[in-house]
Amino acid sequence: MASPEDIDPDSHIVGVYYVESGLGLWRAGVEIAKEESIGTWTELTTMTQRVVERLAAKVYKVDGEKRLVWVAYPLELFDLDYGGIPNLLSIVAGNLFGLSALENVRLIDLKIPREVARHFPGPKFGMEGVRGLVGSEMGVPHLGTIIKPKVGLSPRETAQVAYEAAIGGVDFVKDDETLTNQPFCPLEERLSHVMEKLDQVREETGRTVLYAVNITAQHEAMMELADRAIEQGANMLMVDVLTAGFSALQSLAEDPSIRLPIHVHRAMHAAMTRNPRHGIHMLVLAKLVRLAGGDQLHTGTAAGKMEKEAAEVRKIDDFLRGEWNGLKTVFPVASGGIHPGIVEENIRLLGPDLVINAGGGIHGHPMGVRAGARAMRQAIEAAIKGIPVEEYAKTHEELRVALEKWGKKYA
């Protein structure tokens, strides 16, 4: 056992775990520390005191009321230059989830010192850099949209939807996470048509709208798609970080020839984050995305959720927007079931420096995509000005029609 005074935070990565075990918290924590550093199920004739002193993980704190255990892993245990995030996860979130002595265990936080962070690229642009590309001010949310339907549109149809949304006022357009380079909508052709339409928007309005083209693929193919996207004039890339892997994101961020912001989708995250008693907290994934170089990250919405759930999303967003180990910030993205009626509550709960991303809440507007984007923009304006959305809708038709359809209930 160790005490907090024994642990140098600059020379350890600390995992904070929620644990349910009949062993009690201290013994359960020791099982985690053994499994993920130098231990196994039986005594070893090959073990030396030198190995124990240098590489053993240590339990140094427990919270019985909250069922939390703090485990400190010495930095020498990690291969940060070559193993990177895969090696890090293999240690702090590896076999421990299968230990029979633990009924439930959840990694809820990672304390990562600056010495570790310097081995990773971090975001190239960050929130401030993305705002610089668009020309927006701090304190006003970006408005984004996902092309809908998710799949099935041709490249030209996709581009026309993007145009209507952009003319209506969005700052950011993204592919759905399921769309990459399928035959019905090839990536290069889709990108070419979309960028042509967004150039038209710039000529007509003076506004720059970003398009996150989804290049998620096998590693070599993904890097090739990134190069081809750049040749086609892309101004943003998108990656499904959990299906492609953190190393895929890091490869994009570290490549000096890729000078574009990276939008990070979190498809599959709920397999790890949804169970409050077992798995990995979204805050941990957010920290890894920031290390690996994501510039925007989906973190969830707050409207319509219980107070505790909303507070957890806010905590993640505040982390992404705050100072951390000298790395640039990450633009948090609120997405999923958003429509004009719940914009005000999301901004109130999550803060104004975020991307409000709406799919059906724009494309399902009775007056069409352009009107849907305008209604979302009007809802943002109302929230920033402190005007109740119902009051603002009296003089803004698109917003009024949206409220008549969806009200203020969470989808």
Quick: pLDDT tens for 172-206. Answer: 999 999 999 999 999 999 999 999 999 999 999 99
What's the pLDDT score for residue 1? 62
Q: Where are the domains of the chain?
A: 4-117, 126-406
Is domain 4-117 given the CATH code 3.90.930.60 in the classification? no
Side chain identity at 120, as an amino acid letter? F
pLDDT in tens, 125-155: 999 999 999 999 999 999 999 999 999 999 9
Mean pLDDT confidence for 92-103: 95
The single residue of 142, 148, 287, 298 carrying the catalytic annotation is 148
Does the annotation mark 396 as catalytic?
Answer: no
User: What are the start-end ranges of the E strands in 241-393?
Assistant: 262-265, 279-280, 296-298, 331-335, 355-358
* Average of per-residue pLDDT across 30-36: 91
Taking the alpha carbons at both ends of the chain, their separation in whole angstroms is: 49
The second-level CATH assignment, the architecture, of 126-406 is: Alpha-Beta Barrel (3.20)
| Among 58, 142, 174, 265, the one annotated catalytic | 265
pTM across the whole model: 0.95
Question: Is 148 marked active-site?
Answer: yes
Burial class (CB in 10 A: 0-12, 13-18, 19+), 405: middle
